[in-house]
Amino acid sequence: MSETFYSIRMRAAERSIERGEKHISGGERIGRQAQIEPIVTELLRKGSSHSRGDADFLQIVIEKIIDEEIQIIPPLAVTGIETSSILKGRQEARNILEAIGISEQAMDAAFDLISSSNNLRGAALIHYRSGIRLDDRGERGVRVSRMDWQKEPELGARVREAIALASKVAHSPYTVAELCWSDDPEYVIGYVSNLATGYVRITPLKEEGCESGGRVFFVADEVDLDAYIHYLEKTPVLIRRKDE
Ligand code: WAQ
Ligand code: MG
Protein backbone atom coordinates (compact mmCIF):
# COMPACT_ATOMS: atom_id res chain seq x y z
CA MET A 1 0.00 0.00 0.00
CA SER A 2 1.77 3.15 -1.12
CA GLU A 3 -1.00 5.59 -0.23
CA THR A 4 -0.43 8.03 2.60
CA PHE A 5 -2.39 7.45 5.77
CA TYR A 6 -2.76 9.60 8.86
CA SER A 7 -3.25 8.73 12.50
CA ILE A 8 -5.87 11.07 14.00
CA ARG A 9 -6.27 10.93 17.77
CA MET A 10 -8.36 12.82 20.27
CA ARG A 11 -8.46 13.08 24.02
CA ALA A 12 -10.69 15.23 26.15
CA ALA A 13 -10.47 15.91 29.88
CA GLU A 14 -11.97 17.96 32.66
CA ARG A 15 -9.34 19.75 34.70
CA SER A 16 -9.74 21.17 38.15
CA ILE A 17 -7.26 22.34 40.77
CA GLU A 18 -8.86 20.23 43.52
CA ARG A 19 -9.36 16.99 41.65
CA GLY A 20 -6.69 17.09 38.96
CA GLU A 21 -7.60 15.68 35.59
CA LYS A 22 -10.65 13.56 34.82
CA HIS A 23 -10.60 11.61 31.56
CA ILE A 24 -13.74 12.35 29.53
CA SER A 25 -13.25 10.75 26.15
CA GLY A 26 -10.71 9.58 23.61
CA GLY A 27 -10.68 8.38 20.04
CA GLU A 28 -8.23 6.90 17.60
CA ARG A 29 -8.70 6.76 13.87
CA ILE A 30 -6.76 6.21 10.67
CA GLY A 31 -7.64 7.96 7.43
CA ARG A 32 -6.43 9.16 4.07
CA GLN A 33 -5.84 12.86 3.54
CA ALA A 34 -9.38 13.52 2.29
CA GLN A 35 -10.82 11.90 5.42
CA ILE A 36 -8.91 14.07 7.90
CA GLU A 37 -11.51 16.83 8.03
CA PRO A 38 -14.59 14.63 8.54
CA ILE A 39 -12.74 12.52 11.10
CA VAL A 40 -11.60 15.62 13.02
CA THR A 41 -15.20 16.84 13.06
CA GLU A 42 -16.43 13.48 14.37
CA LEU A 43 -13.77 13.36 17.07
CA LEU A 44 -14.49 16.95 18.10
CA ARG A 45 -18.18 16.09 18.48
CA LYS A 46 -17.37 12.92 20.38
CA GLY A 47 -15.15 14.70 22.90
CA SER A 48 -17.14 17.87 23.40
CA SER A 49 -20.64 16.48 23.99
CA HIS A 50 -20.03 13.64 26.41
CA SER A 51 -22.02 12.05 29.21
CA ARG A 52 -18.94 11.97 31.48
CA GLY A 53 -18.75 15.75 31.59
CA ASP A 54 -17.80 18.97 29.85
CA ALA A 55 -14.26 18.84 28.57
CA ASP A 56 -12.19 21.92 29.21
CA PHE A 57 -9.19 20.37 27.52
CA LEU A 58 -9.45 18.74 24.11
CA GLN A 59 -6.50 17.71 22.01
CA ILE A 60 -6.49 16.38 18.47
CA VAL A 61 -3.25 15.08 16.99
CA ILE A 62 -2.86 14.44 13.26
CA GLU A 63 0.22 12.52 12.30
CA LYS A 64 1.36 11.09 8.99
CA ILE A 65 2.09 7.39 9.22
CA ILE A 66 5.53 7.06 7.74
CA ASP A 67 7.79 4.57 9.36
CA GLU A 68 5.56 1.52 9.59
CA GLU A 69 3.75 -0.72 7.17
CA ILE A 70 -0.02 -0.90 7.76
CA GLN A 71 -1.18 -4.35 8.83
CA ILE A 72 -4.51 -5.60 7.54
CA ILE A 73 -6.41 -7.91 9.89
CA PRO A 74 -9.95 -9.35 9.91
CA PRO A 75 -12.45 -8.29 12.61
CA LEU A 76 -13.25 -10.69 15.44
CA ALA A 77 -16.54 -12.55 15.04
CA VAL A 78 -19.25 -11.03 17.23
CA THR A 79 -21.64 -12.94 19.50
CA GLY A 80 -23.75 -11.79 22.42
CA ILE A 81 -25.07 -12.78 25.83
CA GLU A 82 -27.94 -11.04 27.61
CA THR A 83 -28.55 -11.64 31.28
CA SER A 84 -30.96 -10.28 33.87
CA SER A 85 -28.43 -8.86 36.34
CA ILE A 86 -24.89 -7.52 36.71
CA LEU A 87 -24.01 -10.50 38.88
CA LYS A 88 -25.05 -12.89 36.11
CA GLY A 89 -23.40 -10.81 33.41
CA ARG A 90 -20.10 -10.82 35.29
CA GLN A 91 -20.42 -14.55 35.95
CA GLU A 92 -20.83 -15.15 32.21
CA ALA A 93 -17.70 -13.10 31.59
CA ARG A 94 -15.82 -15.10 34.23
CA ASN A 95 -16.95 -18.42 32.73
CA ILE A 96 -15.56 -17.45 29.35
CA LEU A 97 -12.31 -16.14 30.83
CA GLU A 98 -11.94 -19.30 32.90
CA ALA A 99 -12.41 -21.48 29.83
CA ILE A 100 -9.67 -19.47 28.12
CA GLY A 101 -7.35 -20.24 31.03
CA ILE A 102 -7.36 -16.98 33.00
CA SER A 103 -6.79 -17.67 36.71
CA GLU A 104 -9.24 -16.73 39.46
CA GLN A 105 -6.64 -14.36 40.85
CA ALA A 106 -6.14 -12.57 37.54
CA MET A 107 -9.92 -12.26 37.05
CA ASP A 108 -10.34 -10.79 40.53
CA ALA A 109 -7.58 -8.27 39.83
CA ALA A 110 -9.22 -7.29 36.54
CA PHE A 111 -12.75 -6.88 37.92
CA ASP A 112 -11.41 -4.88 40.90
CA LEU A 113 -9.46 -2.59 38.63
CA ILE A 114 -12.26 -1.94 36.14
CA SER A 115 -14.93 -1.44 38.79
CA SER A 116 -12.78 0.89 40.89
CA SER A 117 -13.73 4.56 40.76
CA ASN A 118 -10.17 5.42 39.71
CA ASN A 119 -10.47 5.05 35.96
CA LEU A 120 -7.43 4.68 33.76
CA ARG A 121 -7.22 6.54 30.48
CA GLY A 122 -5.96 3.41 28.75
CA ALA A 123 -5.73 -0.31 29.47
CA ALA A 124 -3.96 -2.20 32.25
CA LEU A 125 -1.77 -5.15 31.25
CA ILE A 126 -2.24 -8.00 33.72
CA HIS A 127 -0.45 -11.34 33.77
CA TYR A 128 -3.07 -14.01 32.97
CA ARG A 129 -2.12 -16.25 35.91
CA SER A 130 -0.58 -14.14 38.69
CA GLY A 131 -2.90 -11.15 38.19
CA ILE A 132 0.12 -8.88 38.62
CA ARG A 133 0.02 -5.66 36.65
CA LEU A 134 2.89 -5.64 34.17
CA ASP A 135 2.85 -2.14 32.66
CA ASP A 136 4.27 0.79 34.57
CA ARG A 137 1.88 3.37 33.18
CA GLY A 138 -0.08 4.04 36.36
CA GLU A 139 -3.24 6.11 35.85
CA ARG A 140 -2.55 6.47 32.15
CA GLY A 141 -2.45 2.82 31.27
CA VAL A 142 -1.63 1.79 27.72
CA ARG A 143 -3.67 3.51 25.05
CA VAL A 144 -4.19 1.37 21.96
CA SER A 145 -3.95 3.59 18.93
CA ARG A 146 -3.61 3.63 15.15
CA MET A 147 -6.42 1.29 14.20
CA ASP A 148 -9.53 1.75 12.11
CA TRP A 149 -11.80 0.00 9.63
CA GLN A 150 -10.73 0.05 6.04
CA LYS A 151 -14.38 0.43 5.04
CA GLU A 152 -16.78 1.67 7.71
CA PRO A 153 -19.16 -1.12 8.70
CA GLU A 154 -22.82 -0.41 9.34
CA LEU A 155 -22.56 -0.38 13.09
CA GLY A 156 -22.89 2.36 15.70
CA ALA A 157 -19.69 4.33 16.32
CA ARG A 158 -19.14 2.83 19.76
CA VAL A 159 -19.44 -0.79 18.67
CA ARG A 160 -17.37 -0.14 15.55
CA GLU A 161 -14.55 1.37 17.63
CA ALA A 162 -14.67 -1.37 20.26
CA ILE A 163 -14.48 -4.18 17.68
CA ALA A 164 -11.57 -2.49 15.91
CA LEU A 165 -9.70 -2.11 19.20
CA ALA A 166 -10.45 -5.66 20.39
CA SER A 167 -9.45 -7.10 17.00
CA LYS A 168 -6.11 -5.27 17.05
CA VAL A 169 -5.43 -6.35 20.64
CA ALA A 170 -6.44 -9.98 19.99
CA HIS A 171 -4.08 -10.25 17.04
CA SER A 172 -1.00 -9.91 19.21
CA PRO A 173 0.45 -13.30 20.18
CA TYR A 174 0.99 -11.86 23.69
CA THR A 175 -2.73 -11.26 24.33
CA VAL A 176 -4.49 -14.13 26.09
CA ALA A 177 -7.82 -12.27 26.45
CA GLU A 178 -9.41 -8.88 27.01
CA LEU A 179 -12.12 -7.71 29.41
CA CYS A 180 -13.83 -4.36 28.93
CA TRP A 181 -16.76 -2.25 29.87
CA SER A 182 -17.40 1.42 29.23
CA ASP A 183 -16.78 4.26 31.67
CA ASP A 184 -19.75 6.14 30.21
CA PRO A 185 -22.51 6.23 32.84
CA GLU A 186 -25.35 5.29 30.48
CA TYR A 187 -23.58 2.38 28.76
CA VAL A 188 -23.73 -0.96 30.58
CA ILE A 189 -22.63 -3.38 27.83
CA GLY A 190 -19.12 -4.80 27.85
CA TYR A 191 -17.24 -7.67 26.29
CA VAL A 192 -14.73 -10.47 26.63
CA SER A 193 -12.58 -11.21 23.61
CA ASN A 194 -9.68 -13.10 22.17
CA LEU A 195 -8.69 -14.58 18.84
CA ALA A 196 -10.32 -18.00 19.33
CA THR A 197 -13.44 -16.89 21.21
CA GLY A 198 -14.10 -13.75 19.19
CA TYR A 199 -15.86 -10.68 20.57
CA VAL A 200 -18.53 -11.70 23.08
CA ARG A 201 -20.78 -8.77 24.02
CA ILE A 202 -22.24 -9.18 27.47
CA THR A 203 -24.94 -7.13 29.14
CA PRO A 204 -25.20 -5.82 31.77
CA LEU A 205 -21.70 -5.63 33.24
CA LYS A 206 -22.35 -2.59 35.40
CA GLU A 207 -25.03 -0.43 36.93
CA GLU A 208 -26.57 2.40 34.96
CA GLY A 209 -25.24 5.76 36.15
CA CYS A 210 -21.91 4.28 37.20
CA GLU A 211 -18.80 5.97 35.81
CA SER A 212 -16.41 3.10 36.46
CA GLY A 213 -15.10 1.26 33.45
CA GLY A 214 -11.93 0.28 31.68
CA ARG A 215 -9.96 -2.37 29.90
CA VAL A 216 -7.67 -5.17 31.00
CA PHE A 217 -5.48 -7.15 28.61
CA PHE A 218 -4.52 -10.52 30.08
CA VAL A 219 -0.95 -11.11 28.99
CA ALA A 220 0.95 -14.34 28.24
CA ASP A 221 4.07 -15.65 30.01
CA GLU A 222 6.45 -15.09 27.15
CA VAL A 223 5.55 -11.42 26.67
CA ASP A 224 8.15 -9.00 25.38
CA LEU A 225 6.61 -5.94 27.06
CA ASP A 226 8.35 -3.29 24.96
CA ALA A 227 7.40 -5.00 21.71
CA TYR A 228 3.83 -5.57 22.93
CA ILE A 229 3.30 -1.95 23.98
CA HIS A 230 4.88 -0.75 20.76
CA TYR A 231 2.43 -2.87 18.76
CA LEU A 232 -0.56 -1.61 20.77
CA GLU A 233 0.37 2.07 20.61
CA LYS A 234 2.19 2.44 17.35
CA THR A 235 1.63 -0.29 14.77
CA PRO A 236 -1.01 0.91 12.27
CA VAL A 237 -3.74 -1.65 11.71
CA LEU A 238 -6.70 -1.59 9.35
CA ILE A 239 -9.61 -3.94 9.92
CA ARG A 240 -10.98 -5.53 6.78
CA ARG A 241 -13.72 -8.13 6.45
CA LYS A 242 -12.67 -11.25 4.53
CA ASP A 243 -15.18 -10.66 1.72
CA GLU A 244 -14.09 -7.07 1.03
N1 WAQ B 1 -6.77 1.94 24.48
C2 WAQ B 1 -6.77 1.40 25.71
N3 WAQ B 1 -7.78 1.54 26.58
C4 WAQ B 1 -8.83 2.27 26.18
C5 WAQ B 1 -8.90 2.87 24.90
C6 WAQ B 1 -7.79 2.69 24.03
N7 WAQ B 1 -7.76 3.21 22.83
N8 WAQ B 1 -10.07 3.53 24.80
C9 WAQ B 1 -10.70 3.34 25.97
N10 WAQ B 1 -9.96 2.60 26.82
C11 WAQ B 1 -10.28 2.20 28.17
C12 WAQ B 1 -10.26 3.38 29.12
O13 WAQ B 1 -9.85 2.93 30.38
C14 WAQ B 1 -11.71 3.78 29.16
O15 WAQ B 1 -12.02 4.36 30.40
C16 WAQ B 1 -12.42 2.45 29.00
O17 WAQ B 1 -11.57 1.65 28.18
C18 WAQ B 1 -13.78 2.51 28.39
O19 WAQ B 1 -13.72 3.22 27.17
O20 WAQ B 1 -21.80 -2.69 22.60
O21 WAQ B 1 -17.46 2.36 25.05
O22 WAQ B 1 -14.64 4.16 25.09
O23 WAQ B 1 -20.31 -4.02 21.72
O24 WAQ B 1 -16.04 4.17 27.22
C25 WAQ B 1 -17.85 -1.91 24.76
C26 WAQ B 1 -19.11 -2.56 24.29
C27 WAQ B 1 -17.95 -0.42 24.88
C28 WAQ B 1 -19.51 -2.10 22.94
C29 WAQ B 1 -16.66 0.11 25.36
O30 WAQ B 1 -15.47 1.99 26.06
C31 WAQ B 1 -20.62 -3.01 22.36
C32 WAQ B 1 -16.59 1.60 25.45
P33 WAQ B 1 -15.04 3.49 26.35
MG1 MG C 1 -15.84 6.22 27.62
What average pLDDT does this structure show over 142-159?
Answer: 95
Q: Does the pLDDT at position 47 exceed 90?
A: yes
pLDDT class of 9 with cuts at 50, 70, 90: very high
Ligand located closest to 180 CA: 1
Q: The pTM is what?
A: 0.96
Q: Is the CB of 39 under 6 A from ligand 1?
A: no
pLDDT class of 3 with cuts at 50, 70, 90: confident
Q: Does the pLDDT at position 8 exceed 70?
A: yes
* Residue nearest to ligand 1 atom 31, measured at CA: 159
- Closest ligand 1 atom to the C-alpha of 120? 13
Ligand located closest to 123 CA: 1
Q: Is the CB of 184 under 6 A from ligand 1?
A: yes
Query: Quick check: 113 and 213 in contact, CB under 8 A?
Result: no
What average pLDDT does this structure show over 178-192?
Answer: 97
Least confident span in 17-21, 51-55, 131-135, 238-242: 17-21
List phi, psi (to 5°) of 168. Answer: -60, -50
pLDDT for the residue numbered 66: 86
Determine if residue 141 is left, alpha or beta; phi over 0 gives left, psi from -120 to 50 gives alpha, anything else beta.
Answer: left
- Closest ligand 1 atom to the C-alpha of 158? 21
Instruction: Give the residue, out of 180, 184, 231, with the most ligand 1 atoms within 8 A of its beta carbon, to mutate for a pocket test.
Output: 180
* Residue nearest to ligand 1 atom 8, measured at CA: 122
Helix, strand, coil shares, percent, the chain, to 5 = 25, 35, 40
Q: Is the CB of 13 under 6 A from ligand 1?
A: no
One-letter amino acid identity for 89? G
pLDDT for the residue numbered 122: 96
How does the average pLDDT of the chain come out, rounded? 95
pLDDT class of 176 with cuts at 50, 70, 90: very high
- Closest ligand 1 atom to the C-alpha of 25? 22
- 3-class secondary structure for 208-221? CCCCCCEEEEEECC
Digit-coded pLDDT (tens) for 104-114: 999 999 999 99
